Amino acid sequence: MIGIDIVKIDRISSTKAKFGDKFLSKFLCEEEINLAKSDASLAGFWAAKEAISKALGCGISAEFGFLDAEIYKSQKGAPMIKFSKEIVDKFRIKSSSLSITHDGGFAIAAVIIETYS
C-alpha cells in the first residue's frame, strides 16, 4: 500500500506560532519533537503521518491517529516508522518504508506499507 502527502511549511510554522507546544503534542511524541530541528522537519513529519494514514486506507481517524506511529531515524539518518502494537496487529503490517523531502516551501512524504495476506 502506498501513501503520499504534501504540506506547505509555512502552514506548519504559523500553526506552531499560534498554538506552540500544544500543537506539536497533538501529532508528535516527545522524541519526535526533540528530533525535529526546524519547521521544515516538522512539516515533513506531518506529511509522513498523513501519508501513513493514506497508505493504511483510513486517513487520520478513529482507526489511526497521529500518535499511533512514531518517526525516528536509522543510524544512517534515514527516516523510519515505528507503529504501535495495536496498529501492527489491526492492519497486519509486515514492513514499511518512508521517504521525506522538503524544498521550495513544501514538505513531501511517501510511504510504502507491506502487509501480511
Query: Cell numbers at residue 112, please?
Result: 510504502
How far apart CA 35 and CA 50 sit, in angstroms, is 18
Q: Which segments are annotated as binding site?
A: 5, 50
104 contacts 8 by C-beta, under 8 angstroms = no
Q: What's 2's DSSP letter?
A: E
Phi-psi sector, 111: left (phi>0), alpha (psi -120 to 50), beta: beta
Q: Which segments are annotated as binding site for Mg(2+)?
A: 5, 50
